[in-house]
Structure formats: C-alpha cells, structure tokens
Amino acid sequence: MQRKGKYYCQMRRMDYNQLLKDCLKQKSEAQKMLYEHFAPSMLGVCFRYTKSLNDAEEVLQEGFVKVFTRLNQFKGDGELGGWIRRIMVNTALTYLKTNQKYRYELSYDEMPLHVVSTENPIVNLQSKELAELIRQLPTGFQTIFNLYAVEGYKHAEIASMLGINEGTSRSQYARARILLIEWIEKFSLKEKKGHYGTK
C-alpha cells in the first residue's frame, strides 16, 4: 500500500522517476500503474488515426508493448507523456501502412468520400464533433491533417514519416481543411449523427 501511495503522489506532481525505475525492473505493479495512467488519453490519440474503436485499441496495445520495451531509451529530457504519444503516433502510422484495409485507403490521390462508424472511445476528447468530422476524411487526408494540425509536425517531417514529398503533404492538408470547412458549413453538428461524409 505504501508503494502505491508513493506512486500516486509522484504522478500527481508529474514526477515519474520512481515509477520508471520500477518499470525498468519489470515490476508488474509499476507497469500497470503507468499503463492505467496514460491509456485513456493515448486511446484518444490512436482513435484519431483509425476508423474504429477496435482498431484504435489494437494500436494502443501495440504501442504500449513498444513503450515498455523502449522505456530505457527515455532520457527524461522531455515529458514522459509526450514521449509515449510519439510512440503511439508512429505505431498508428505503421498500422495504417501494414494493415490491408488501411493500406488500400492510404492514398494521396483524389478519393471518394465515405461514411465510417460513429462508435466513440470512452475518453474525454476536446471538440468531439470536430474529431468525428476529421475521422470522416479519407485515410490519407485524415493522417496528414492529424499529424500537422493536431500533433504539430512540420510538412517536411510528415513527408519523411509517410514517404511522400513535402508538396504532397501541404496540398493534402489544404484539401482536408477545405473539406472540413465545407462540412461544417453545410451540416449542423448537432443534427448529424456520423454521416458528415455524405453529399
């Protein structure tokens, strides 16, 4: 009980030193605490890049496997949450590239719009309606928009991550933004129930 209390106090102050040390010693209690602390917010990150909650949960699990196997690489020169988030984003991109369903849709050419599932993870996403609109974008648009507008990557970085040129990243972001503006103007967010991609 004393150790749990110590973890709790440290995490409230955003001081993860002891928790990280115990995770590196493969202590299951510490690993569980770390997972439970970050999993809800990281599920939201994974969900932004996928078209279903099941896929987001799969990315989340794969991401945390990487987190625990690479934890010794975290040097403490930034926030632990930011480091974990980058792993989740990269895991999501790998998932899109290797999953047959997404690999087919991960195109940066003109694509017809389509409706996706409206299931939502039980996490507190800010601007939930906008997040759902972004998920209605074709996978290529959705990925670039999230990387640039949500994660804050520069177009040169996005181009390197996705294996495309910088101009393609810029144009895809611009087209995604235009689509979102059109949808917001055309439909009332309160009245629509997940069919923002229809015309």
In terms of Cα–Cα distance, which of 190, 154, 151, 146 is closest to 170?
Answer: 154
CB 161 within 8 A of CB 153: yes
- CA–CA distances in Å: residue 113 to residues 67, 77, 139: 34, 42, 10
CB 49 within 8 A of CB 59: yes
Q: Please, what is the average pLDDT of the chain?
A: 80
* Structural domains in the chain, sorted by start: 1-102 (1.10.1740.10), 107-199 (1.10.10.10)
pLDDT in tens, 35-57: 999 999 999 999 999 988 999 99
Which pLDDT belongs to residue 76? Answer: 80
Three-class DSSP category at 94: helix
Please determine, for residue 124, whether its predicted confidence score (pLDDT) is greater than 50.
no
Which pLDDT belongs to residue 23? Answer: 92
Amino acid identity for residue 147 in this structure: L
Which pLDDT belongs to residue 108? Answer: 57
Q: What is the pTM of this model?
A: 0.73
Better pLDDT: 185 or 84? 84
Amino acid identity for residue 149 in this structure: A
Give the chain's length. Answer: 199
Which pLDDT belongs to residue 1? Answer: 36
Which pLDDT belongs to residue 129? Answer: 74
Which pLDDT belongs to residue 17? Answer: 81
Please determine, for residue 96, whether its predicted confidence score (pLDDT) is greater than 50.
yes
Tokens 């229809």 found at = 198
Which pLDDT belongs to residue 7? Answer: 52
Q: Quick one: average pLDDT of 115-136? A: 58
Q: Quick one: average pLDDT of 166-194? A: 78
Which pLDDT belongs to residue 113? Answer: 40
Which pLDDT belongs to residue 101? Answer: 78
Alpha helices in the chain (DSSP H): 2-12, 17-24, 28-49, 53-70, 80-98, 100-105, 128-136, 139-145, 155-162, 166-186
Please determine, for residue 66, whether its predicted confidence score (pLDDT) is greater than 50.
yes
In terms of Cα–Cα distance, which of 33, 36, 194, 176 is closest to 129?
Answer: 194
Number of other CB atoms surrounding residue 178 within 10 Å: 11
